Amino acid sequence: MPDLLEVERELERIVDRLNSMPLAKAGTASDDVHTTATLLLQQTRRISGSVPPAVELPRLAPQGLGAMLAVIGRDYLDAARASSDPDVSPVLDALVSLRRALP
C-alpha cells in the first residue's frame, strides 16, 4: 500500500511542473488539474469526517493551477496524517495520472 510520502512527492512534482511550464501549456491541463483537485477535496472530506455543503472548486487561470493544487493537496496530507489509517491509493493514482497527462 502506498504511503503519504509517495503522495507528497507526486504532489510536489506536479506543483513544481505546473509552476514552471509556460502558461499556454498549463492552460491545456486545466481540466485535468481541476478534476484531480476535486478528488483531493472529496478525499479530504471523507477521511476527516467533514461534510460541509458541496462547494464547486473555481476554475482558475493557468497561473493559479499550481497554487490551487498545492493548497488542496496540503489540506489532504494534513487530514491523512491525522487519520488512523487512510487509504491513499486513489489519491496517489490520480496524481500519477495527472503528472503523466501534463504537457
| Cell matching residue 76 | 489532504
Q: Convert the pLDDT of each residue in 24-44 to its tens digit.
A: 999 999 999 999 999 999 999
Q: Is residue 89 pLDDT above 70, yes or no?
A: yes
Of residues 86 and 11, more confidence is placed in 11
- Is the Cβ–Cβ distance between 3 and 65 less than 8 Å? no
State how far Cα 20 lies from the chain centre. 17
Residues 89-98 have a mean pLDDT of: 96
Model pLDDT, residue 52: 63
Model pLDDT, residue 49: 81
Model pLDDT, residue 56: 83
| Cell matching residue 49 | 469526517
Q: Is residue 1 pLDDT above 80, yes or no?
A: no
d(CA 86, CA 48): 10
Q: Convert the pLDDT of each residue in 30-83 to its tens digit.
A: 999 999 999 999 999 888 887 666 678 999 999 999 999 999 999 999 999 998
Nearest to 80 by CA among 46, 38, 53: 46
